[in-house]
Every structure is written in structure tokens, then in C-alpha cells.
Amino acid sequence: MDETVSATAASIADAVNAKARSAREVTDAMLAHVDAVDDRVGAYLTRLHDLARAQADRVDARVAAGEKLPLAGVPLAVKDNMCLTGTRTTCGSKILEHWVAPYTNTAVARMLDAGAIPIGKTNLDEFAMGSSCENSALGVTRNPYDPGCVPGGSSGGSAAAVAANEAAIGLGSDTGGSIREPAAFCNLVGFKPTYGRISRYGLIAFASSLDQIGPFARTVEDAALAYDAMAGHDPMDSTSIDRAVESTADHLRTDLRGLKVGLVREFDTEGLGGEIDAVYKKAYADLEALGAEIVEVGLPSAKYGLATYYLIAPAECSSNLARFDGVRYGLRVDAADVGAMYEATRAAGFGPEVKRRILIGTYALSSGYYDAYYVRAQKARTLIAQDFRTAFASCDLIACPAASSPAFPFDSKSDPYSMYLMDYYTIPMSLAGLPAVSVPCGWVKASADSSPMPMGLQLTSPIFSERLLLGAAHAYERATNHAALRGPAVGAPA
């Protein structure tokens, strides 16, 4: 196997810009690798061979003309809830199984303009609703470190693609943890920027006040390069922040001297089990060894995060998914009248988890229950954001788990509640709109007879402080090097 497929995005871009390797050569090597391994991983719903080669030729022409592209020739995996002109964009749902996007998501367009190569569209929990990628109606995605385990969700396809060396960078969307948890499960860096930092235009909405696009990568430097390419104001997105963006890739740190890192007293890890607790205690000690001052902070309202999220997100989902009615987009099941057609189309097109969340959200917004549920959830959200502001008055960063366990076997969490609990540590940051990143922090056996699986340390910082956050994550990554300790079972270089 060509070792280019396991190279970092930074090294690929350097080689292509220096004309030591062409984007077309990199692309052909990656496409061959995807064809060789993806039937065992299931990362991609659609492979884009012709589009990838055409983009590679355009990149080579631009480089030959003297342009220096920050992501020249970098293979890119795109979560299949992001539109890309002329490609099937399914959201992992039968209702959009054959829908072809007529325009391109802004974040994807910016990645392509920076020189990235679209290898394919990746699997996800249907409409990004899930924590394991088991809710897709269109395929099964396996964890490259243990094919018997889930890759995490909802952005499991993009995470699996990068972990299996089927892309150098993957794009995901994070509503309550859908980048950070799969990154932890797949031994990757997963970064959710401040809400509004990256345009949502062309992202098929789940919960509009929470959804945020971000990258998966094998290094913090690569994640920073992708973020720098995508971030910035977009007039096509009303929630896009019109504020100057600080570059991050050229401001990465090697230590944490001068920084205070807060440990949340409500996020005690002893109840997670001895091995998991030891991994996180060691991670906190490593932060201190890098020069950080460790302080205790409180997030007293964080315990309401799950309940708050699972009212607000389903409420917004029930509104956003009303457009999929058999008239305007995707699947249509004909019936005797319009009402029956709506019912038949949505019954056939949506899976159980999507239906569950639509029902929860519609109930929470209904007459007589709006004030009791939705309004109270919004008040709790405000309290959670206030708690973070108070905590950041005494620290620069907060460190906590990205997930409460390593990747688990398929079908081992059959009830919705146990699956929802997987988002316990990631949801509060989403409700507050904060930037957060998961970085590999160690390995844990899920059971006595299983192989060790990766875990992720979550770091978060105040809004618009991506430079600080990624700089600190880089220092921790370089000092500990957990990601390099074991290669994936599927997709590793021969």
C-alpha cells in the first residue's frame, strides 16, 4: 500500500505544493486504498472517483500556475448531510436516498477552494440523530480498531474514514457531541468550533441552534489547517458570526505554561470504572506536567444538560424535518389524498430514532406543554452558559472526558436512554455554543476479553478562543502521543 494514504494532511499539502507529488497521484493512491478496504469498514455511502480526479487535476493546474494551497491534494471525507453539487446527499435516510444536491455547502466549498479532494460522502446516524452510527438506514460503518464495535455517532462514517486512512481529513457535524465522541472512539482529533464560526449553509439541519460543522484529523495540526480553511462569515447563513477569525495552524503550542486548566467537580470520573478513571486522572496529570495550573471549577447546572438537550434538539428537529413531506424533496409514497400521502411517505422514509425525536419535539412544542417543557429547557440552557462563564473567570480551559466509555459492540445499547447517556460530557458545551476538541488520551479494555480501545480527552475554552484551544490540544498531543501507540485493525499501512 502507498504510504501516502497514512500521511498527514500537512505533509501531503507540503509535498503537492513543492511539486514532489502531484494531487492526482495522491488521489489515485487514496481511491485505490478506499476500494481495497472500505467494504470492511463501510465509511462511505458514495464514492466520488470521477469528481475526485477532476478536482485533483484542477489543483495540479493551480499549483503549476504558482498558487500555494493550504490543503493541496488532501483527501477529504464529507459527512452525507452536507450538500455537494451533483452528488447524492442522503442524511443516511431512506427519505433522501436518491436526492441529488443542486448546490454546495459553504464549508465544503471552502475546503475544495483550499485544494482538498472530495473522496466520498460518508455514513451517519439518520439525520445526525444518534451516538453510534447504528441508526443509518443505508449502511453499516465499523470501527477500524475493532470491526465488532461502533465508530461512534452521528459522524461515524467520517471518523472511520480518517481512522482507516481512507481520507486525511473528515468533515462532521456536531449537535451534542457528534464529532467529539466518534473522534474518541476512533483515536482521532475531533474539533467542534464556536457555534457560528463555520457556516451551516448547505448543511441539512437537525437542530439549527446547535448544529456546527468541524473536522476530524489524525493530528491537531491537520484539524487546525481544516478549521482555518472553513472558518469565517458567510452571508448565506444568518447564524454565521461576522467577526475576524484568528488563524490557528501557525500558533500551535509545545507546553501549557501560564494556563489554568479547570477540572469540573460535577464530572467526577471514579464512577466510570477503574481503568477509565485512571486514564483521565493520568491525562489531567499530564496537563499539569506540561506547565498548566490545575484548578477546580463548578458547573452546577450541567446535570440538566441531557434533559435540556433532549427537549430543545427534538423540538428543532420536528420543525426542520417537516419539509420532508413527499412533495418537495426525496421519497414520495402516493396515496388516496394529500394527508395520507404525507403519512405514508414519512412512515416509510424515517427510521425509528428520527420518528421518536419528531414525536418528542412535537409534544414539547404543543399547546399546553410549550411553557412546561420547551421554555423551561431554554432557561436551563441559559443557566448552563452562565455556569461556563463563571468557571472561565478562574481558568483558561476546562478538561473532562469526551466519552464515558470506549467504543462498544454493536447492538449492546438497545434502549434509547442508555444511548443518550453517551452524550453526557459533550452536551453542555454544545448548549453553551463553546468550542471543544477531543484528543486521544489512552487505551481501555471495555471487557476482560476485549482488545484495548482508544479514549478521548475533551478540552473546551471560551467562545472565539479556537487559537488557545487548539494550541493547548497540540501541546498535549505532542507530549503524550497516544494516537501513535496502536494502528487500526483495518486500513493500516501494510
Q: Kindly indicate the confidence band of residue 262, based on its pLDDT and cuts at 50, 70 and 90.
A: very high
Tell me the C-alpha distance between 149 and 182, whole Å: 12
Whole-number Å distance between alpha carbons of 93 and 443: 33
1 pLDDT tier (thresholds 50, 70, 90): low
pLDDT digits (tens, 9 = 90+) for 120-152: 999 999 999 999 999 999 999 999 999 999 999
- pLDDT at position 316 is 98
Question: 88 φ, ψ to 5°?
Answer: -65, 130
Q: Say which DSSP state 43 is in.
A: -
Closest CA to 284 of 298, 294, 274, 271: 294
Known catalytic membership, residue 178: yes
Q: Give alpha helix (H) positions in 325-422.
A: 338-349, 352-365, 376-391, 416-420
Residues 266-289 have pLDDT tens digits of 999 999 999 999 999 999 999 999
The predicted model gives 464-482 an average pLDDT of 97
Q: Which CATH architecture has domain 3-255+403-485?
A: Alpha-Beta Complex (3.90)
Read off the pLDDT band of 494 (50, 70, 90). low
Q: Once rounded to an integer, what is the mean pLDDT over residues 32-51?
A: 98
CA distances from 295 to 102, 434, 452 (A): 50, 20, 30
Active site residue 79: yes
Contact 188, 162 (CB under 8 A): yes
Cα gap 133→353, rounded to integer Å: 12
DSSP at 96: G
pLDDT digits (tens, 9 = 90+) for 387-434: 999 999 999 999 999 999 999 999 999 788 899 999 999 999 999 999
Helix (H/G/I), strand (E/B), else coil: 431: helix
Instruction: Give the integer Cα–Cα distance in Å for 443 and 187.
Output: 9
Q: What's the confidence (pLDDT) of residue 485?
A: 82
Domain ranges, ordered by start, for the chain: 3-255+403-485
Catalytic member of 136, 155, 178, 318: 178
Q: Is the pLDDT of residue 449 over 90?
A: no
430 is catalytic: no
Coil, helix or strand at residue 418: helix
* Beta bridge partners of residue 293, listed in sequence order: 260
Percent of the chain scoring above 70 in pLDDT: 99
**Which tens digits make up the pLDDT trace of 167-189?**
999 999 999 999 999 999 999 99
Q: How far apart are CA 181 and CA 437, in angstroms?
A: 10
What's the pLDDT band for 450 if we cut at 50, 70, 90?
confident
3 state SS for 120-178:
EEECCCHHHCCCCCCCCCCCCCCECCECCECCCCCCHHHHHHHHCCCCCEEEEEECCCC
Q: Of 22, 132, 136, 154, which one is the catalytic site residue?
A: 154
435 C-beta neighbours (distance < 10 Å), count? 26
User: Which is the catalytic residue, given 22, 79, 192, 405?
Assistant: 79
As a whole number, mean pLDDT of residues 307-332 equals 96
Parallel, antiparallel, or unpaired for β 436-445 and 397-401? unpaired
Cβ-proximal residues to 445 (8 Å cutoff; 6+ apart), any chain: 275, 406, 451, 452, 453
Q: What is the CA radius of gyration of the chain?
A: 21
Q: Alpha carbon 323 to chain centroid distance?
A: 25
pLDDT above 70 (res 374): yes
470 has a pLDDT exceeding 90: yes
Which of the four pLDDT bands, split at 50, 70 and 90, describes residue 464?
A: very high
222-256 pLDDT, tens per residue?
999 999 999 999 999 999 999 999 999 999 999 99
